[in-house]
Amino acid sequence: MVDLYATLWSFALAGLTLLLTWAFAMLASWLIGRFMRQSSPQVTSGARRLGAVVVWLIGSILAIQELGVSPLILIVVIALVGIAALIAVREPLGNYGAKYFTDVYTPFKVGDAIRVQGYAGKVIAINAITTVLLTDNEQLISVPNSVFITDVVVNTTPQAWKEVTIPISIGPSIDLPAFESELLKNLSKLKLRLDRQFPPLLSTKSRTPQSTDLTLTVMLRRPEERDAVTVEVNKRVAEVLERTRTNRR
Amino acid sequence: MQPLNMCINTQTPLVQFTAAQAPRSGRRTIAPVDLATLTEGVDYRYSPGGVTRMVLPLVRHMLHDQILDEAHWVALNPNAPATVRMSGMTLHSVTLGPKRMASYGMVKEAIWGRVHGIDDTDYHDDLLWTEAFSEYAYYNRITSELIRKLDKKHDFDVFYIHDFQQIPIGHMLTTLKPKIFRWHIPFDRSTIPQHWHALLATYLNSYDAIVVSSPRYADSLKAFGYTGRIEHIYPYVDPKDYSDPAVSDVASVSERFGVKDDDIVALVVARMDPVKAHDRAIDALAELASSFPRLKLVLVGNGSFSSSRDGVGLSKSSRWRAHLEEMVKRSKLEGRIVFTGHLSQHDLDCFYERCSFTILPSVREGFGLVVVESWLHRRPAIISSRAGIADLVREGKNGLLFDPDEPGALARQMRRLLGGHPTELSKGLIRGGSLAAEKCSVEAAVQAERALLTEVMEA
């Protein structure tokens, strides 16, 4: 009888731990979002996800401990699988990681003409591993994404300096029309810093039932304001995302 | 080509519902309403004139000829059931709250005014940065979202988007399927503010093909930087939609509006809008009034969907009508000018039969289908040289042209049909008009649209 109560008590504690984990994960995600308001929405959303995963990992280990099972085995299994995965997919993972950063920080996009490592061409695709260039004599050149982190890239597209593209991922909790409308309204306040002939443009890149990937394009008026404008636009995107999410709730 | 499943998008809905059929706030029914169970004129009416008047016969013919297997028509229709079924077609309504609607209406009017060259204020140069523009984007985004949802369900083969209000749809609709846009209003690069060029070019270039009503618009579109396929197809009507009313009906309708047997009727069929330039016709009548005491000017039409309370709700038409009435009073032309407001097709046919000639006085006009209607009713037409249809007119052969900004030009052309020997001239114009009308028949359009669809689908 005592054993039964003890078992039930352990399960209750494990349940409570998971409940608290959920609350902490939400809190961590929100705090990271607040803290990284000036970063790119895509980086912020990745960091929020990572924060939540870490909290869940810790919470799950604690919950398992409450059930009287040693968490050591679980930690060892996770570590071994992680190391094996890292060794097995080191190269593609590097490129994948680089893609994540080039998406946000490298100043080119599909359609631009670029030069890198002695190759020049029009960017026709950027996938998880490589960026594909089409040369003037119709050759395809595949450049690993990691190259864009380590090498000098020249964007030869006319007026490329003007263009700032900001990737944005929104989940199903965000109403796209309301978000876009709010964002355009908000960004119109920056019109003195942006090229009047190119109003902000939101484009849909891809959609899944879970998320919609968008690109916000703004054109600068002065090249020296690139960083300041990018930070300000990122901040405004984050604010509008938060507001639209709250309004939906 | 296999029969296609087409999604059509216009701002103006094909069918407008009366208050009794309009869903109460927050109570839009999901179940489709069958139009056959409702009564035309009581529960609903077809939107008069403009884009819908043109697209409907085309869709019907394409369904009949099995070019289309199915058609879904998405339009702004806040006072309609969410889905309405009619033969071969399903109508889907987009709804917008009054506040957003007002902002959307403001933007679309500003675009319309600039493109028509009737509004050259610098104020609109910054239009794309205004809060109102964000609502214009909102309207287009909810429309594109609805189209996307419908596409997931019905797997369309092609999207056919109509008119300038809907132009962002092509960019917003992320699909690899063909997208065609029909630009119904004039396209003159010189009237479009420099500050609009980049965004407009982005929007235009999101379409695989663009259809325009006049070859001169095609040239301008190319010069603007559109790189896709440009097709010139004349707007069209279905001659079967026009009847020859009985003499007694013509007499009764004329009497209803105070038109006497010995009156000479000049007819203007145009919605109440400054761009339609009814004022030029009133000026011309003032000039001719004493020489032709039995001459009367009949103005048929009221506001468009944009002006209607159930539509976008702009008050432009009532302001314009008040201005015209004031003008009539000032010119002491009371009794010589008749404002009929909106007329049923039958009553309109009666006035076409009753009139001696028609006038299209517009200062700018995408095309001018009323001229084709006049030709179908075998009435000569005096046509503004600024209308797209002027490309089809050979002076003195199938119509009389005039520059709406040249004082006295319209009165001079009216005099040619009123005085001297009008009979020979009228007969010639009627003969020539009948031939020209064939180029604007729905049969000609179906052929042209079929060829366009084939090329776009198989390109």
By Cβ distance, the residue of B129, B137, B141 closest to A191 is B129
- Taking the CA of residue A129 and the nearest CA in chain B, the distance in Å comes to 24
Q: Are A197 and B194 in contact (CB under 8 A)?
A: yes
Contact B137 A180 (CB under 8 A): yes
Q: Which chain A positions have a beta carbon within 8 Å of B198's beta carbon?
A: 197-198
Q: Which residue of A has its CA nearest to B195?
A: A197
Q: Are B141 and A176 in contact (CB under 8 A)?
A: yes
Mean pLDDT of A204-233: 91
Q: Report the distance separating Cα B299 and Cα B265, nearest Å.
A: 10
Contact A188 B129 (CB under 8 A): yes
Contact A182 B135 (CB under 8 A): no
Fold of domain A2-88? Helix Hairpins (1.10.287)
Q: Report the distance separating Cα A2 and Cα B210, nearest Å.
A: 80
The pLDDT confidence band at residue B65, using thresholds 50, 70 and 90, is very high
Tell me which of B100, B125, B129 to substitute to probe the interface with A (most A C-beta atoms closer than 10 Å). Answer: B129
CA distances to A107, A189, A229, B403 from B23, rounded to whole Å, are 50, 38, 46, 47
CATH classification of A106-155, choosing from 3.10.250.10, 3.40.50.720, 3.40.120.10, 2.30.30.60? 2.30.30.60
Residues 91-130 of B with CB under 8 A from A: 126, 128-130
Contacts of B267 (CB under 8 A, 6+ apart): B298, B300, B351, B352, B354, B355, B357, B358, B359, B374, B379
Q: Which residue of A has its CA nearest to B200?
A: A198
Count other Cβ atoms within 10 Å, centred on residue B344: 12
According to DSSP, the β-strands at A119-126 and B229-232 are unpaired
Q: What is the CA radius of gyration of chain A?
A: 23
Q: Is B175 on the interface with A (CB under 8 A)?
A: no
Q: Which residue has the higher pLDDT, B424 or B28?
A: B424
Mean pLDDT of A52-70: 84
Q: Report the distance separating Cα B27 and Cα B273, nearest Å.
A: 34
> What would the pLDDT profile of A79-123 be if each residue is shown by its tens digit?
888 887 777 666 666 666 666 665 566 678 888 999 999 999 999
Contact B138 A181 (CB under 8 A): yes
If you count residue pairs, one on A and one on B, with CB atoms under 8 Å apart, how many are there?
52
Q: Is B174 on the interface with A (CB under 8 A)?
A: yes
- Taking the CA of residue A185 and the nearest CA in chain B, the distance in Å comes to 5
Q: Are B210 and B169 in contact (CB under 8 A)?
A: no
> What is the percent of chain B with per-residue pLDDT over 90, rounded to a whole number?
73
The pLDDT confidence band at residue B387, using thresholds 50, 70 and 90, is very high
Across the strands, what pairs with A201? A217
The pLDDT confidence band at residue B232, using thresholds 50, 70 and 90, is very high
Would you kindly state where each structural domain of chain A is located, as residue ranges?
2-88, 106-155, 160-248
> What would the pLDDT profile of A134-165 be if each residue is shown by its tens digit?
999 999 999 998 888 888 999 998 888 888 88
Looking at residue A104, what is its pLDDT? 61
- Taking the CA of residue A232 and the nearest CA in chain B, the distance in Å comes to 17
Looking at residue A101, what is its pLDDT? 62
Closest CA to B301 of B341, B247, B355, B361: B341
Contact B134 A181 (CB under 8 A): yes
DSSP helix, strand, coil percent of chain A (3-state; round to 5): 55, 20, 25
* CB burial string B381-391: b at 16+ within 10 A, e below: bbbbebbbbbe
Q: Report the distance separating Cα B209 and Cα B226, nearest Å.
A: 10
CATH no. for A160-248: 3.30.70.100
Q: Which chain B positions have a beta carbon within 8 Å of A221's beta carbon?
A: none
Contact A197 B198 (CB under 8 A): yes
What is the token pair recorded at B6? 């087409």
Q: Which residue of B has its CA nearest to A187?
A: B129
- Taking the CA of residue A245 and the nearest CA in chain B, the distance in Å comes to 17
- Taking the CA of residue A110 and the nearest CA in chain B, the distance in Å comes to 15
Contact A177 B142 (CB under 8 A): yes
Q: Which residue of A has its CA nearest to B132?
A: A185
Closest CA to B75 of B53, B58, B97, B91: B91
Contact B199 A176 (CB under 8 A): no
Q: Which chain B positions have a beta carbon within 8 Å of A204's beta carbon?
A: 172, 174
Tell me which of B141, B143, B147 to substitute to probe the interface with A (most A C-beta atoms closer than 10 Å). Answer: B141
What is the token pair recorded at B15? 């069918």
> What would the pLDDT profile of B362-386 be if each residue is shown by its tens digit?
998 888 999 999 999 999 999 999 9
Looking at residue B114, what is its pLDDT? 86
Closest CA to B136 of B151, B148, B124: B124
Mean pLDDT of B139-167: 97
* ipTM passes above 0.90: no
Contact B129 A196 (CB under 8 A): yes
Mean pLDDT of A177-196: 95
Q: Which residue of A has its CA nearest to B136?
A: A181
Q: What is the CA radius of gyration of chain B?
A: 22
User: Can you tell me which residue has the tokens 């046509």?
Assistant: B383
Average per-residue pLDDT in chain B? Answer: 90
- Taking the CA of residue A193 and the nearest CA in chain B, the distance in Å comes to 12
Contact A180 B202 (CB under 8 A): no
Q: Is B154 on the interface with A (CB under 8 A)?
A: no
> What would the pLDDT profile of B414-442 be if each residue is shown by its tens digit?
999 997 666 789 999 999 999 999 999 99
The whole-angstrom distance between residue A160's C-alpha and the CA centroid of its chain comes to 23
What is the token pair recorded at A110? 């599909």
DSSP string, B224-259: HT--SEEEE----B-GGG-----HHHHHHHHHHTT-
Domains of chain B in sequence order: 4-237+442-458 (3.40.50.2000), 239-438 (3.40.50.2000)
Contact A185 B142 (CB under 8 A): no
